[in-house]
Amino acid sequence: MRTTQMTIPDAVIERAYEGKCTKEDALLLLNGSPFELFKLADELRALAVGDLVSYVVNRNIYITNKCVGNCGFCAYRTNKNSYILSLDEILEKAEEAQKAGAVELCIQGGYTPEADIEFYLEILEALKAEFPELCIHAFSPMEVNYAAELSEMSVKEALEKLKKSGLDSLTGTSAEILSDRVRKIICPSKLSTQQWINTIKMAHKVGLSTNATIMYGHIETLEERLDHIFSIREIQEETGGFSEFIPMSFLPYNNKIGEEMLASGKFSSTGLEDLQLLAISRIILHTHVDNIQATWVKLGKKLAHVALSCGANDLGGTLTEDQISSAAGGSNGEFVSPQEFEWMIKKAGKIPMQRDTLYRAVKARSPGRAERLPEKMEEKNRSEIWEKKKWGTGNKRSSKIQL
């Protein structure tokens, strides 16, 4: 029996290795063999970060479920049984997180008239006073813009105040799909594409790191997905402020957009689509954004495990109390223990690394605490990986991908 081996054109692979993948290249790769796509992405992952796979022990704190937004994909916002956590309640959750070994607090919520900049500053200052060693990864570009307007100040001033009060990293959420056509349908009252970009650039300018996200699998086209990723690359080329890229599949349950999709016979993205988007993200962002996350709470643990061979190098957080995905019909749980992460990573043939928000290595410490690795030790552990980035003739891989 005759078999045909498909290969990706040399020029496409060369551009991928150089960090110059084009939109035409991306479309060609997505229309070709998914296994060749995964192989190329995995090679670039190894080149960028070696065999380290990271995760962070963290806790989500949802400060409110109130929101004046009208996003059609949101299942978390509610007018019934609404709440805003008190400062004491927030500090209590932070203390629980610290005792459990967390190194990151991820603070989320809606945007509401009660939450101006002073509201957020009070939270940050109280948390940093009590738990100075915890990284605070919090708030979205939408929340910052809304609160800045309430407080009658510029976004730049708001970001500077947040940083000064203890914010370590701004979340890259509220990006959804960076297409105004899509945004007018799924989140008409949210920031425009350009407003999101401007806010992220300003955050980077004042010295705040952010991640970048994409929420896909609803009404967007394939080209709009790719345009989104290329927009992230363009921002990174200018600012260098993104720590990671997180593809998040849309969960179509208990929300308006999802109900319309299900009624039309369309469901959420397939597992193959999820892996393809993750792989093409690695390829487009190679040499620009090193860390690509396979978020287990969206993919499920088994598919996230497979993703470690398709370009991903991070599993995200232990995510104690992930209410947003659960509200939208997520069935993958709200917590994964560090021990299970370590097991998953080793089973994938990789090396586990516990990290903080900014991708600095930490080590677990009894009883349940974690601490930064000494700088010299951290550099020693990672030096070989960073060297792999400086590839030249001697490191260049064959442009023929063998499966």
Are the C-beta atoms of 326 and 334 separated by less than 8 Å?
Answer: yes
Amino acid at 270: T
CA–CA–CA angle 151, 104, 280 (5° rounding): 95
Residue 152: count other Cβ atoms within 10 Å of its Cβ.
Answer: 9
Q: How far is CA 52 from the centre of its chain?
A: 17
Tokens of 101: 């070994």
| 34-49 and 375-389 helices, crossing angle to 10° | 130
Name all contacts of 33-37 with Cβ < 8 Å and 24+ positions apart: 33/6, 33/403, 34/272, 34/275, 34/276, 34/279, 35/403, 36/6, 36/7, 36/8, 36/401, 36/403, 37/276, 37/279, 37/280, 37/283
Are the C-beta atoms of 170 and 203 separated by less than 8 Å?
Answer: yes
Task: State yes or no: cis peptide before 367, omega within 30 of 0.
Answer: yes
Amino acid 76: pLDDT: 59
Amino acid 263: pLDDT: 87
Per residue of the chain (403 residues), give pLDDT as tens: 334 456 899 999 999 999 999 999 999 999 999 999 999 999 999 999 999 999 999 999 999 988 887 787 676 555 677 899 999 999 999 999 999 999 999 999 888 999 999 999 999 999 999 999 999 999 999 999 999 999 999 999 999 999 999 999 999 999 999 999 999 999 999 999 999 999 999 999 999 999 999 999 999 999 999 999 999 999 999 999 999 999 999 988 877 888 888 888 888 899 999 999 999 999 999 999 999 999 999 999 999 999 999 999 999 999 765 444 444 344 445 689 999 999 999 999 999 999 999 999 998 654 445 554 444 434 444 444 434 433 333 333 433 333 3
Q: Report the 3 state secondary structure along 376-400.
A: HHHHHHHHHHHHHHCCCCCCCCCCC
Residues with Cβ < 8 Å from 39, sequence gap 6 or more? 401, 403
CA gap 366, 80 in Å, rounded: 41
Amino acid 3: pLDDT: 42
Residues with Cβ < 8 Å from 210, sequence gap 6 or more? 169, 170, 171, 172, 200, 203, 204, 241, 242, 243
For residue 55, the surrounding DSSP H or E stretch is strand 52-56
Domain of residue 49 covers: 19-386
CA gap 216, 177 in Å, rounded: 7
Amino acid 171: pLDDT: 97
Tokens of 213: 């996200």
223 occurs within a structural domain: yes
User: What's the number of domains the chain is made of?
Assistant: 1
9 occurs within a structural domain: no
| 23-31 and 271-285 helices, crossing angle to 10° | 150
The three-class DSSP label of residue 315 is strand
Give the count of alpha carbons within 13 A of 75, CB side only.
Answer: 19
156: domain CATH number is 3.20.20.70
Name all contacts of 388-391 with Cβ < 8 Å and 24+ positions apart: 388/46, 388/47, 388/48, 388/50, 389/47, 389/48, 389/287, 391/17, 391/47
Amino acid 5: pLDDT: 54
7 occurs within a structural domain: no
DSSP 323-354: HHHHHTT--S-S---HHHHHHHHHHTT-EEEE
Amino acid 380: pLDDT: 42
Residue indicated by tokens 């022990």: 57
Amino acid 6: pLDDT: 60
101 occurs within a structural domain: yes
CA–CA–CA angle 330, 336, 340 (5° rounding): 135
CA gap 264, 244 in Å, rounded: 34
394 occurs within a structural domain: no
